[in-house]
């Protein structure tokens, strides 16, 4: 992720100025009365629904009123009373910087004292996701994340998600990605150590964002903590009252009802459960997280038994696929469905053992819900109404040369691009690609990194019928077969 030194210095200076101002005010250690004008830690109806961009106070009254500062990149922010003694800020981001053309986003940020004094490698960040029908204050009021992050000197960010009932819809996730870009441009955190934590609807948000955002140029999660989350939006909608279904069909959620746009709901669902309650492996994009640590927690005394059973089945499924999973279960009839049953410290200790790897694993299985960059490939075209799937293995044993990879079991794919440099492959040597499709359809393969047209391109030892070279893009395009049957593509420079 590229960042701007000038912008970072700008906001750092502004935050330090706001910190000095807030230091003059007594800092409550527990929820209390309003601090800065108009702000209170009490959950209010005005916190919910769409975010409003606040008006700016004049400079003459700003220090006395506790009003808003104008920041860069469409931001307005103010200092608010802290839970831990660490500088804490409320930030509103205007469109389009919010990642949405119409809706602003709002976040809370806790910057631990001494954050800038520690090495960059230690500057981890937690993104805390709130539960249903409450605001981002939920993270501070009901979880111990503020104290755990403060003790570790980690940055804590609590996004609103455009609306309080977002259910991880694609628009809310686009906003999280946009905010991640802004934060990284302005605050020098370690982007390889960002962890998503969420409860209930927030657990869905943490898992769904992590599995749908594997582009190294965007905010990624190095680990996820999910507490009793809904995992299958199809099942969630089917079990919801009509009023909830109408809410989710609004333009600020999924845009229409499930019957009209089913994939909008399914694309954010970590899994689809079969009628017997087991995970349908053909509809399980959570497998994208097979190489990321996932901490799954539930209270066996939770009244929502369907969510509890789903979390346990998810743990079993991921474990069976060799994923890095830690399941934690408690029995607490008093706490019920609440943040308090989650041992936040232990959960953070688990995910903190890991950071984003410098290179993707040599063998990945990926569900793609849209054309974007995924592990090892750029999906250029795919079905707009279904998951595309693929397996990619570098240097497979079945290849005849080392400079090789396999693209297998593709489904609903149309055109994919391989950046040979990113794959660690050499376009100046013979390159072998083993290809096969699971749906008996043709895939268009684009190889990026060829300065000149190759000498020969063969498919199963015969001259390829369908290939072309675009010198201006340094791209070689090959269609190995018309029906996706297993082929061996050999490119000789």
- pLDDT tens digits for 416-434? 999 999 999 999 999 999 9
Structure tokens at 127: 């993104």
Domain membership flag for residue 402: yes
Residue 150 belongs to a domain with what CATH number?
A: 3.40.50.1820
Q: What pLDDT is stored for residue 14 in this prediction?
A: 46
Does 165 have pLDDT greater than 90? yes
Question: pLDDT category, 18, cuts 50, 70, 90?
Answer: very low
Domain membership flag for residue 139: yes
CA distance 299 to 331: 5
Same domain, 371 and 298: no
Same domain, 337 and 463: no
Does 273 have pLDDT greater than 60? yes
The count of structural domains within the chain is 2
Q: What pLDDT is stored for residue 288 in this prediction?
A: 98
Does 379 have pLDDT greater than 70? yes
Domain membership flag for residue 237: no
Same domain, 324 and 374: no
Does 57 have pLDDT greater than 70? no
* Domain termination residue (choose one: 317, 351, 385): 351
Residue for token pair 């919910």:
48
Overall average pLDDT of the 117-132 stretch:
98
Cα angle vertex 120, ends 115, 125, to 5°? 60
Is the pTM for the entire model greater than 0.75? yes
- pLDDT tens digits for 452-481? 999 999 999 999 999 999 999 999 999 999
CA distance 290 to 366: 10
The residue range of the domain holding 400 is 363-492
Same domain, 129 and 211: yes
Structure tokens at 392: 């990619």
Report the relative pairing of strands 404-411 and 456-459 from DSSP bridges: unpaired
What percent of the chain is predicted at pLDDT more than 90? 88
Domain membership flag for residue 262: no
Look at 30-39, 321-330, 373-382 and tell me which has the smallest mean pLDDT.
Answer: 30-39
Domain membership flag for residue 255: no
Same domain, 328 and 464: no
CA distance 424 to 182: 30
Q: What pLDDT is stored for residue 25 in this prediction?
A: 32
Report the relative pairing of strands 363-368 and 373-374 from DSSP bridges: unpaired
Q: What pLDDT is stored for residue 38 in this prediction?
A: 81
* Domain termination residue (choose one: 331, 351, 371): 351
Q: What pLDDT is stored for residue 62 in this prediction?
A: 52
CA distance 291 to 282: 18
- pLDDT tens digits for 192-218? 999 999 999 999 999 999 999 999 999
Overall average pLDDT of the 80-87 stretch:
96
Overall average pLDDT of the 250-274 stretch:
97
Same domain, 110 and 150: yes
Eight-class DSSP state of 289? G
Question: pLDDT category, 67, cuts 50, 70, 90?
Answer: confident
Same domain, 57 and 156: yes
Q: What pLDDT is stored for residue 5 in this prediction?
A: 37
Of the two residues 15 and 382, the one the predictor is more confident about is 382
Sign of the torsion formed by the C-alpha atoms of 36, 41, 44 and 49: positive
Does 130 have pLDDT greater than 50? yes
Does 60 have pLDDT greater than 60? no
Question: pLDDT category, 357, cuts 50, 70, 90?
Answer: very high
Same domain, 9 and 88: yes
Same domain, 208 and 80: yes
CA distance 53 to 41: 19
Same domain, 344 and 457: no
With 0-12 / 13-18 / 19 or more C-beta atoms within 10 angstroms meaning exposed / middle / buried, residue 230 is: buried
Q: What pLDDT is stored for residue 55 in this prediction?
A: 84
Same domain, 311 and 385: no
Q: What pLDDT is stored for residue 29 in this prediction?
A: 32
Domain membership flag for residue 188: yes
Residue 396 belongs to a domain with what CATH number?
A: 2.60.40
CA distance 101 to 113: 35
Structure tokens at 224: 């996820």
Phi, psi angles (nearest 5°) of residue 47: -75, -20
Sequence-distant (6+) residues with CB within 8 A of 123 are 115, 153, 154, 155, 188, 189, 190, 193
Is the peptide bond between 96 and the residue preceding it cis, with omega within 30 degrees of 0?
Answer: yes
What percent of the chain is predicted at pLDDT more than 70? 90
Q: What pLDDT is stored for residue 56 in this prediction?
A: 77
Domain membership flag for residue 357: no
- pLDDT tens digits for 385-418? 999 999 999 999 999 999 999 999 999 999 999 9
CA distance 208 to 214: 11
**Chain-wide mean pLDDT for the chain?**
92
Domain membership flag for residue 386: yes
* Domain termination residue (choose one: 325, 351, 377): 351
Q: What pLDDT is stored for residue 59 in this prediction?
A: 52
Expressed in angstroms, the distance from the first to the final Cα of the chain is: 32
Same domain, 77 and 125: yes
Q: What pLDDT is stored for residue 140 in this prediction?
A: 98
With 0-12 / 13-18 / 19 or more C-beta atoms within 10 angstroms meaning exposed / middle / buried, residue 340 is: middle
Does 8 have pLDDT greater than 50? no
Q: What pLDDT is stored for residue 61 in this prediction?
A: 54
Question: pLDDT category, 9, cuts 50, 70, 90?
Answer: very low
Does 448 have pLDDT greater than 50? yes
Q: DSSP readout, 347-406?
A: HHHHHTT----SS--SEEEEEESSSSEETTEEEEEE-TTS-EEEEEEES-TTSSSSSEEE
CA distance 393 to 396: 6
């Amino acid at each position: 992720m590229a960042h701007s030194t000038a912008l970072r210095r700008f906001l750092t200076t502004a935050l330090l100025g706001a910190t000095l101002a807030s230091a003059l005010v007594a800092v409550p250690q527990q929820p209390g009365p309003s601090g800065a004008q108009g702000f209170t830690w009490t959950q209010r109806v005005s916190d919910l629904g769409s975010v409003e961009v606040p008006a700016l106070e004049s400079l003459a009254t700003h220090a006395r009123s506790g009003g808003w500062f104008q920041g860069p990149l469409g931001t307005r922010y103010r200092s608010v009373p802290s839970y831990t003694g660490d500088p804490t800020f409320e930030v509103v981001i205007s469109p389009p910087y919010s990642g949405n053309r119409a809706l602003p986003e709002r976040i809370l940020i806790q910057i631990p004292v001494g954050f800038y004094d520690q090495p960059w490698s230690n500057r981890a960040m937690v993104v805390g996701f709130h539960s249903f029908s409450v605001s981002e204050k939920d993270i501070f009021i009901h979880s111990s994340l503020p104290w755990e992050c403060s003790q570790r000197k980690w940055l804590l960010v609590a996004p609103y998600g455009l609306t309080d009932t977002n259910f991880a819809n694609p628009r809310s996730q686009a906003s999280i990605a946009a905010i991640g870009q802004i934060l990284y441009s302005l605050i020098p955190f370690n982007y390889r150590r960002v962890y998503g934590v969420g409860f209930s609807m927030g657990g869905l948000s943490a898992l769904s964002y992590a599995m749908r955002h594997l582009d190294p140029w965007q905010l990624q999660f190095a680990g996820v903590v999910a507490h009793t989350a809904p995992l299958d939006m199809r099942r969630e909608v089917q079990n919801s009252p009509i009023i909830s279904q109408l809410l989710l069909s609004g333009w600020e959620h999924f845009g229409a009802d499930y019957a009209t746009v089913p994939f909008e709901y399914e694309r954010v669902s970590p899994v689809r459960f079969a009628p017997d309650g087991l995970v349908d492996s053909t509809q399980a994009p959570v497998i994208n997280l097979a190489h990321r640590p996932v901490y799954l927690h539930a209270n066996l005394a939770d009244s929502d038994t369907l969510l509890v059973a789903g979390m346990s089945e998810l743990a079993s499924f991921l474990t069976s696929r060799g994923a890095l999973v830690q399941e934690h279960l408690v029995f607490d009839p008093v706490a019920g469905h609440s943040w308090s049953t989650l041992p936040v410290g232990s959960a953070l200790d688990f995910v903190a053992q890991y950071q984003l790897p410098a290179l993707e694993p040599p063998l990945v299985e990926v569900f793609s819900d849209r054309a974007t960059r995924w592990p090892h490939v750029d999906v250029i075209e795919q079905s707009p109404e279904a998951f595309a799937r693929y397996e990619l293995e570098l240097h497979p044993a079945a290849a005849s040369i080392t400079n090789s990879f396999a693209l297998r079991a593709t489904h609903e794919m149309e055109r994919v691009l391989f950046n040979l440099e990113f794959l660690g492959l050499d376009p100046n040597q013979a390159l072998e690609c083993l290809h096969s499709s699971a749906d008996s359809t043709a895939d268009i393969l684009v190889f990026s990194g060829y300065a000149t047209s190759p000498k020969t391109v063969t498919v199963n030892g015969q001259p390829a019928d369908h290939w072309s070279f675009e010198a201006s893009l340094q791209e070689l395009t090959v269609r190995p077969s018309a029906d996706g049957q297993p082929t061996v593509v050999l490119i000789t420079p």
